[in-house]
Amino acid sequence: MIAFLLRRFMWFVITVWAVQSLSFFLVRLAPGGPFTQERNVPLHVELAQRAKLNLDVPLYEQYFGYFGKLFRFDLGISDRQPDFTVNEIIAAGFPVSASLGVLALLFAVALGLAAGIVSAVCRGRGWDVSIMAAATLGIAVPSFVVASVVIILFVFVWPLFPAAGWGEPANLVLPAFCLGAPYAAYIARLSRTGMLEVLSQDYIRTAYAKGLSTRAVVLRHALRGALLPVFSFLGPAVAGILTGSLVIEKIFAIPGLGVHLLNAALQRDFTLMLGMVLVYTTVLYSMNTLVDLSYRILDPRVELT
């Protein structure tokens, strides 16, 4: 276990270096910059701002300067919001996105697993067809369409929840549903496939032969094996949910990482974009590592290599 974690940490460092280096050169070499929209700013003001943001030195000096700060966990000052550091912006936005993401993830896992299990047990019957049709629809329909529909239904037709904002528990319900619905659909399909595969195994037939009920066989014997494909999906899914959904946060005016990422891209905020990429890379890598560890717990035959 310790050797596995040490290897993963070594590859994490290499992955972060590779991703951040590629991102650094891509954003620097792309047309435009943080001052593109400020054509009326006097030249001496722009030169002073470039000097403050370290943009007046050669590209290789910017590169080594950036990684020198990164090793000290200093992501630099936002190019477009010079009064704030990237660390401060991420520290303010990540808890918001994480709160929304955790609720959306709980909803997605609970609904997706339940739907997938019922669909597998009722294979070929009406419940199976209905659930899989709903799952396909949930995957195909864009999140902004789902958000528009739920706003019309539960804000205007039945005024049960606020349309936007942040700070109250009621503000979480609609965005969490819209954010978690596509993931619930994927989990339903994956859990159904995994459950059908496990239900065809010999030990499941043995459990039925011993007189166990369908509920006992599914929950005690089949469920653990059926979770393996779901956990494979949850690695990148958790990273995507926790780091914020750009569309959902924009529609519901939620001040999370998604909004900051959108603003950074539109305003050519180099340092903020790199900080967002670092957060996503870290969360994605960490979640994939936890998924590999969960394999060992769910199936002792799996070896951590």
The residues pairing with 77 across neighbouring beta strands, listed in sequence order, are 85
Tell me the H-state helices in the chain. 2-29, 43-52, 59-70, 86-121, 126-140, 143-151, 170-199, 202-209, 214-216, 223-242, 246-251, 257-267, 270-298
Assign 72 to helix, strand or coil. Answer: coil
Whether residue 69 is found in the same domain as residue 98: no
Q: What H or E segment, with its residue span, contains residue 231?
A: helix 223-242
SS3 label, residue 77 = strand
Q: How many domains are contained in the chain?
A: 2
Q: In this predicted model, which residue has the larger pLDDT, 286 or 236?
A: 286
pLDDT at residue 72, as a whole number: 86
Is residue 93 classed as helix, strand or coil in its secondary structure?
A: helix
- For residue 38, pLDDT over 60 is answered with no
- Looking at 40, 74, 108, which one is the last position of a domain? 74
Instruction: Tell me: pLDDT of 251 over 60.
Output: yes
**Nearest-5° angle of CA 162, CA 168, CA 171?**
40
Greater confidence (243 vs 248) lies with 248
> Does the pLDDT of residue 69 top 70, yes or no?
yes
The pLDDT score that the predictor gives to residue 18 is 93
The residues, ordered by sequence, that sit 6+ positions from 175 with a Cβ below 8 Å of its Cβ are 100, 104, 147, 248, 249, 251, 252, 254
What is the pLDDT, as a whole number, of residue 37? 58
Q: Residue 85: how many CB atoms within 10 A of its CB?
A: 18
- The amino acid occupying position 199 is L
Kindly state whether residues 153 and 264 are assigned to the same domain. Answer: yes
Per-residue confidence at 302, pLDDT binned at 50, 70, 90? Answer: low
Q: Where among 28, 45, 74 does a domain terminate?
A: 74
Assigned domain for 237 exists: yes
Q: Are 5 and 304 in contact (CB under 8 A)?
A: no
Q: Are 195 and 221 in a shared domain? A: yes
- Say if 102 falls within a structural domain: yes
- Phi, psi dihedral angles at 85 (to 5 degrees): -85, 160
Structural domain range at position 161: 90-298
Query: Which of the four pLDDT bands, split at 50, 70 and 90, describes residue 197?
Result: confident
Alpha carbon distance 189, 230 (integer Å) = 9
Per-residue model confidence (pLDDT) at position 14: 92
36 and 64 together in one domain: yes
Per residue in 57-68, pLDDT (tens digit) is 777 888 888 888
Contacts of 173 (CB under 8 A, 6+ apart): 161
In this structure, is the dihedral angle defined by the CA atoms of residues 206, 212, 213 and 215, taken in order, positive or negative? negative
Percentage above 70 pLDDT, the chain: 87
* Whole-number Å distance between alpha carbons of 187 and 150: 21
* Residues 91 and 257: beta-carbon distance below 8 Å: no
The per-residue pLDDT for range 140-190, each reduced to its tens digit, is: 888 888 888 989 999 888 888 888 878 788 888 889 888 888 889 888 888
Q: Is 112 in the same domain as 51?
A: no
In a domain, 80, yes or no: no
**pLDDT-derived band of residue 8, with 50, 70 and 90 as boundaries?**
confident
> Are 167 and 291 within one domain?
yes
DSSP assignment letter at 85: B
- Model confidence at 43, pLDDT cuts 50, 70, 90, reads low
In a domain, 1, yes or no: no
Q: Which run of H or E residues covers position 137?
A: helix 126-140
- pLDDT value of residue 291: 75
Are 141 and 49 members of one domain?
no
pLDDT at 225 exceeding the cut of 80: no
Considering the domain boundaries, does residue 240 fall inside one?
A: yes
Q: Per-residue pLDDT tens for 255-285?
A: 888 888 877 877 778 888 888 888 888 888 8
Same domain, 144 and 222: yes
Q: Identify the pLDDT of residue 93.
A: 86
Query: For residue 231, is it within any domain?
Result: yes
CATH number at residue 113: 1.10.3720.10
Q: Is the pLDDT of residue 39 over 60?
A: no
